C-alpha cells in the first residue's frame, strides 16, 4: 500500500518521522457529512422533544384551569337555565381536581 493511502485512512493521525509526536490530519469528506447530518438530526430531535413536553405542560394547565375555575360556573349557569325552563335537576357534582403528576405531595 502506498504511504498516501495509509496517511489518509489511519483514523486521522499520522506519526512524524521523529516518532514522538502525532499530528492530526483531516478525515475524509464523508465523515464531515455524517457529522453534519447527525448534528442536524440531533438538533431537530431535541427541538421536537422540547415542543412535545411544552405542549403536554400547556394541555395539563388548560385542563386544570377548566376543571377548577370554569366547570363550576358552567354547572351553575346550566342549573339556572334549567330552573328558568322548569326542568328539575339534581345538585351539580362537586369538582375535585386530583393532580397525579404532583411530586410535592
- pLDDT tens for the chain, 105 residues: list them: 444 444 445 555 554 455 445 556 566 768 888 889 999 999 999 999 999 999 999 998 898 888 888 888 888 899 999 999 998 988 877 777 777 766 655
For 50, the grid coordinates are: 422540547
For 13-76, give the DSSP string: EEE-TTSS-EEE-PPPHHHHHHHHHHHHHHHHHHHHHHHHHHHHHHHHHHHHHIIIIIHHHHHH
Q: Which pLDDT score is estimated for 102?
A: 63
Amino acid at each position: 500500500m502506498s504511504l498516501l493511502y495509509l496517511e489518509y485512512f489511519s483514523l486521522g493521525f499520522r506519526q512524524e518521522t521523529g516518532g514522538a509526536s502525532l499530528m492530526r490530519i483531516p478525515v475524509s469528506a464523508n465523515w464531515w457529512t455524517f457529522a453534519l447530518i447527525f448534528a442536524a438530526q440531533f438538533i431537530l430531535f431535541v427541538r421536537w422533544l422540547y415542543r412535545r413536553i411544552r405542549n403536554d405542560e400547556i394541555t395539563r394547565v388548560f385542563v386544570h384551569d377548566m376543571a377548577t375555575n370554569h366547570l363550576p360556573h358552567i354547572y351553575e349557569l346550566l342549573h339556572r337555565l334549567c330552573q328558568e325552563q322548569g326542568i328539575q335537576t339534581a345538585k351539580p357534582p362537586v369538582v375535585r381536581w386530583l393532580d397525579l403528576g404532583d411530586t410535592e405531595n
